[in-house]
Structure 1
Amino acid sequence: MTKLTFGSHPFLLGFEQLDRLVERTAKTATEGYPPFNIEQSSDNAYRITLAVAGFREGDLAITVEDRQLVIRGRQEDDGEGRVFLHRGIAARAFQRSFVLAEGVEVAGAKLENGLLHVDLVRATPEPVVQTIRITKA
């Protein structure tokens, strides 16, 4: 059986990149830590909120790599000399990735009460009308 993709459909020319984006997104969707919310705050604004309790600003890094928002967290182990009878608070490193659409940019980020808020905005493109001249052969 042949796998049907965007790039292989005869009416969708030039969508090979979308095919790769869908595959990349499917790989990152299986991650489970840390939990997050995605909100649409207006027509062209979004907010991603991650639960990062115990992480400080210096423990977190936010980058955009090839239209992919990557949020990483790594805590330094400060449990030296401490004996835990139970350790239920996760202190493991993480990496969360989100694929950004064309024109979506990071507007800012803030850490507040154990939640990391990353604000995104989409620039509204100007409509372009192009007239194609027909020439004689």
Structure 2
Amino acid sequence: KLRRLQDQLNSISKDMNEYKEILDEFGYEDQDIAIAGILSIKYGNTCDMLYAGMDKRFKKFMPQYKEYVENFKWAFDKGCIWSSMGGVEGTLDDGLTKFKDNFNPTINELIGEFDLPVNKMLYNLSQIAYKLLKK
């Protein structure tokens, strides 16, 4: 038990030193420090998160979780029925995908970023086939 308590003390001391350095950098007076943020737009009944980021010095606080939840609340308060968190890697095993998985997302797989049909009849057939294959 003594060793575990000593490890905890060492860990907390290290954290306190890190936060003291940050406070020295920003100053001790009352001020807001942006540690994470999301840039979102609302279009119709949809919200798209265009960019999300955080200051890595504060990653132990996991601010991005609160940012996403607050962004969802904002979107739904504004009448959105859908909120897009942006894309994921195709392999679905990268860190960002694992983080987004905590929010139980629906992943829509698209052929490309834009559909520009050059042959309307073939395009309509391909859309029907795609929907059938997706089931």
TM-score range, shorter chain: under 0.3
Query: What is the TM-score with the length of structure 1 in the denominator?
Result: 0.25
Larger relative contact order (Cα-Cα within 8 Å, sequence gap ≥ 6): 1
Based on CA coordinates, which of the two structures has the bigger radius of gyration? 2
TM-score by length of 2: 0.25
Structure with the larger strand share: 1
